[in-house]
Amino acid sequence: MRLLIVEDDFEIAQALADGFARRGVASDRAQSAGDAALMLEAAFYAAAILDLGLPDGDGLELLRKTRARGDAVPVLILTARGDVQQRIAGLNAGADDYLVKPFDMDELQARLEAVLRRRDGYSGRTLSLGRLTLDPSTREVTVAGQGVALSAREIELLELLLRRAGRVVLKRIAEDQLFGLDDGLGSNAIEVYVHRLRRRIEKLDAGLRIETVRGVGYMLRAEA
């Protein structure tokens, strides 16, 4: 899972990124509404954490424009504006939740997970296929009940494939999910991780296979 943090205060943005990283959640950061708009159009994010006081405009306007173009990315507003009418305005503009600074990281994580469960079931349920199981909250992977050690990015890729089991995951979406916009990305980076995960799954006899849909992306299936 990868988040977009829209926050112009560097220290707060860094604290958010570090806090989510400790919980196994990757993130990209935008310090302005303009940058955030470009990143939301260019990449795939599980959700966005949005400050309202941005240097080039109000976060509410960014949210309205995002919703107007049909982007349903879950958005949690995180701001110093705590007035009831401001909260109502944020929710009416299309926010999925609203949290006032100062905040507790554990509460923010819990609210984010609740938003994702409400929107599309992205978080909070065990994912299973074949003999493999992934717990998204703990990042624990097991095969036939036995723990399996995978790298953080292998787990991210596995989660993305499990959530769309039997359907194609576009290569571009997989790249955005694993690497975001800040990483230097080699032309075959995603293929390397798919190859590694495919070999691990085969060796573990997990009852799964990763298929490459040439020129399109990847699909996870249970073996017959």
pLDDT of residue 62: 95
For residue range 122-140, list pLDDT tens digits in order.
Answer: 545 688 999 999 987 788 9
The answer on pLDDT for 43 being more than 90 is no
Query: How far is 19 from 16, CA to CA, in rounded Å?
Result: 5
What mean pLDDT do residues 35-58 have?
A: 91
What mean pLDDT do residues 10-19 have?
A: 94
Residue 47 half-sphere exposure, CB side, CA atoms within 13 Å? 29
Q: Which amino acid is at 26?
A: A
Query: What domains can you pick out in the chain, each with its CATH number?
Result: 2-120 (3.40.50.2300), 127-222 (1.10.10.10)
What mean pLDDT do residues 71-94 have?
A: 92
Non-local CB neighbours of 197 within 8 Å, separated by 6+ positions:
150, 154, 157, 158, 210
Give me the DSSP letters along the chain.
-EEEEE-S-HHHHHHHHHHHHHTT-EEEEESSHHHHHHHHHHS--SEEEE-SEETTEEHHHHHHHHHHTT----EEEEES---HHHHHHHHHTT-SEEEESS--HHHHHHHHHHHHHHHHS-SSS-EEETTEEEETTTTEEEETTEEE---HHHHHHHHHHHHTTTS-EEHHHHHHHHHTTTS---TTHHHHHHHHHHHHHHHHT-SEEEEEETTTEEEEEE--
Q: Which of 46-50, 52-56, 175-179 has the lowest mean pLDDT?
A: 175-179
The most distant pair of C-alpha atoms in the chain lies apart, rounded to whole Å, by: 57
What mean pLDDT do residues 156-177 have?
A: 87
In the predicted model, what is the mean pLDDT of the chain? Answer: 89
Determine the Cα angle at 176 with ends 204 and 207, to 5°: 20
Residue 43 half-sphere exposure, CB side, CA atoms within 13 Å? 26
pTM for the model: 0.70
The answer on pLDDT for 177 being more than 90 is no
What mean pLDDT do residues 79-84 have?
A: 90
The answer on pLDDT for 98 being more than 80 is yes
For residue range 196-222, list pLDDT tens digits in order.
Answer: 999 999 999 999 999 999 989 999 999
pLDDT of residue 221: 94
Percentage, residues of the chain above pLDDT 70: 94
